[in-house]
Amino acid sequence: MMHCSMVDLPEAMLSEIIKRVTKTSDLNSISLVSKQLYSIDAVQRGAIHIGGGLCPATEALTLEALKSICSRFPNLQKVEIDYSDWIPSHGNQLDNQGILVFSSRCPSLTDITLSFCSYIDDSALGCLAYWKHLTALRLNYAPKITSSGLLSVVVGCRSLSTLHLIECDKIHNIKWLEVLGLEGSLEEFVVKNCKGISQYDLLKFGPGWMKLQKFEFEMEGEFCGRETVDYDSSYNAHNLNKYDFCCENLKDLRLARFQTWPEIGLRFVLGKCKALEKICLQYVHALNDNDMIALSRSCNNLKSISLWLRPHFYDCNYRTSFTDDSLKALARNCPMLETVELTFVFCVPEYPSETGFTHKGLLVLIQSCPVRVLMLNGAHFLDDEGMKVLWSAPFLETLELMFCELITDIGMRSVTHIPCLSNLTLRCCESVTDVGVARLVRGCMVRGRTLESLTIEGCHRVSEQAVQGAARSVHYSTAAPSHGFHKTMYY
């Protein structure tokens, strides 16, 4: 029998194989097999990651080393420079000269990310301004970059479609934003924790809103003190159409950790995005049912909604800003809604009304919408009796319960009545014990079903032995999860 090695394959076939390898470490290993594979990988490699973790760092980050990298990979399209774990002993960071090397030697480069680059300033952005084909720029903690540098990129790079600004505290003058809105082609815009950019500044983006498909805005901390005293200079109480532009192409929207005011600010977006498919509202103070009703009426393509809420005083009641009226509006106007996440912080089990919702509102939602994924964090409005409403969720496949302390072993019996459920996650549900898991397993057996996956994390009254064989795939951990809701609860 004749045997042939990988390197004996036709070059076209080798190229096709290498295209399907996604991990950088695997590509590096393949390129060491032969000169032919080395050459094919070099020509096809479209993205590299430079920064902390390179060994030895001092040798890898010299200008000569960068020139060698650019020569080896002539068709680079995407470069990520990341120093998030950098310490001085790692060697030198890339500086402005490094950006100049890329700009002069990588003619195909269209996408660049600068993360924690402490030695890169406006001069480097001046180099980027000459890349007429630059489509994506992401700045993550760029302490030396100012509004002037960003303006040069906005003016020079008219093909820019993606812009991320994260912890860029020296960017504030909004001239760049006005130019970008009037003449740019931005489709993805992310602003997080930039002290000099307020929600009202972003309204100066004007006609640029029409082109956006994804938008995120988040202030530093839970709320920003500046937002409570700032105001919208374009607000006119006598003009019902205060913002004369729309967001008809916006599909993905996330607003987080800031305070808004009735009829003004970024809340205007909620009633103007007809194509919206995914929305996440995290601790946006002063939104109410009217905003959700406006959202639901304009967004009948909505597929995913995530609400992160905490209680405040509303009409002498201490509760979150939304009620069952919001859930009913979504049920009435959003026939494509498939994913629902409700996260509550600082609500206590003794006062379920603090969440603002009831299980009756949830029932209306899951009966009217094809909800396939439901995530409830700290949802104290749902107890064992309320769990029965999930029987009426004909499409529900994935259920995640976290910090739901009023759900006990009795509630686990209700889980087995959910018609299409295949994935169950319990995190920090302290009232569930081994007895509840046993009831879950027995209930599934009676109905001739087996869960595809079961995840138990931080439920200290459930043992590892109890979950063995409870689903086709089981993940068990006594540790509380270190992500999402758990983090936000104690900051």
Q: What is the pLDDT of residues 150-169, one digit of tens each?
A: 999 999 999 999 999 999 99
**370 CB-near residues (< 8 Å, 6+ apart):** 335, 336, 337, 338, 395
Residue at 368 is within a domain: no
Residue 202 contacts by C-beta under 8 Å, 6 or more apart in sequence?
177, 191, 217, 266
> Does any domain span residue 353?
no
Segment 341-346 mean pLDDT: 96
pLDDT one-digit tens code per residue, 209-233: 999 999 999 998 654 433 443 445 5
Mean pLDDT in the chain?
Answer: 85
pLDDT for 411-458, tens place per residue?
A: 999 999 999 999 999 999 999 999 999 999 999 888 888 999 999 999
For residue 328, name the pLDDT band (cuts at 50, 70, 90). Answer: very high
* pLDDT reading at 4 higher than 80: no
Domains identified in the chain, total number:
1
Position 402 in a domain:
no
Which residue reads 């950019």 in tokens? 197
Rounded CA gap, 392 and 279, in Å?
Answer: 25
Is residue 394 reached through a cis peptide bond, with omega within 30 degrees of 0 on the bond before it?
Answer: no
Q: How large is the average pLDDT for residues 248-254?
A: 96
pLDDT of residue 228: 41
Burial (CB count within 10 angstroms: exposed 0-12, middle 13-18, buried 19+), residue 81: buried
Of 329, 313, 331, residue with least CA distance to 321: 313
DSSP, collapsed to helix, strand or coil, labels residue 462 as coil
* 25 — pLDDT class (breaks 50, 70, 90): low
Strand 214-218 and strand 252-259: pairing?
parallel
In a domain, 15, yes or no: yes
**Type and span of the H or E element at 411:** helix 409-415
336 within 8 A of 301, measured Cβ to Cβ: yes
Query: What does the DSSP 8-state code read for residue 24?
Result: H
**How far apart are the C-alpha atoms of 125 and 100, rounded to whole Å?**
10
- Whole-angstrom Cα Rg for the chain: 26
pLDDT at 288 exceeding the cut of 70: yes
Angle at 37 between CA 31 and CA 42, to 5 degrees: 70
Domain that holds residue 39: 8-45
Let me know if residue 397 belongs to a domain.
no
Question: Over 90: is that where the pLDDT of 295 sits?
Answer: yes
Residue range 363-375: mean pLDDT, rounded? 98
Alpha carbon 387 to its chain centroid, in Å, reads 29
Question: What are 236-246's pLDDT values in tens digits?
Answer: 444 435 566 78
Label each residue of 138-184 as H, E or C. EEECCCCCCHHHHHHHHHHCCCCCEEEEECCCCCCCCHHHHHHHHHC
Q: Considering the domain boundaries, does residue 32 fall inside one?
A: yes
% of the chain exceeding 70 in pLDDT: 82
36: pLDDT strictly greater than 70: no
Per-residue model confidence (pLDDT) at position 316: 80
Q: Is residue 35 part of a domain?
A: yes
> What is residue 15's predicted lDDT score, i.e. its pLDDT?
53
Question: Strand 278-285 vs strand 304-309: parallel, antiparallel, or unpaired?
Answer: parallel
Total Cβ atoms within 10 A of residue 395: 14
CATH code at position 15: 1.20.1280
Burial tier of 259 (Cβ tally within 10 Å: 0-12, 13-18, 19+) = buried
pLDDT for residue 393 is more than 60: yes
pLDDT at 315: 73
Evaluate if pTM is beyond 0.85: yes
* 444 lies in some domain: no
Query: What pLDDT band is residue 313 in, cutting at 50, 70 and 90?
Result: confident
Residue 111: helix, strand or coil by DSSP?
strand
26 pLDDT above the threshold of 80 = no
